Amino acid sequence: MKMNPIVEYIRIHLVSLHQDAEMLQEKMDAFGGDFDSDEFRDLEMEDIINTGEMKATAHLLSVAESMIE
């Protein structure tokens, strides 16, 4: 079973998730409104979801890499 393309895709996806995290952090840092607003809570939720996606993707990458060693 050829896994290198899958592993490469997961690596690229993880980079994309890190870039999303940076963008979300910049938006949250620059937020000038009410921190109790729905707008800010939506940003926080996106950040929490993104963090979970990064953790899950990193785990899958680790498992995939160990399978092809």
3 pLDDT band, cuts 50/70/90, is low
Phi, psi of 65 (to 5 degrees): -65, -40
Share of the chain above pLDDT 70, in %: 96
pTM, full prediction: 0.87
Q: What is the DSSP string of 45-64?
A: HHHHHHHHHHHHHHHHHHHH
Instruction: Write the pLDDT tens digit of every residue in 4-16.
Output: 899 999 999 999 9
End-to-end Cα distance, the chain: 13
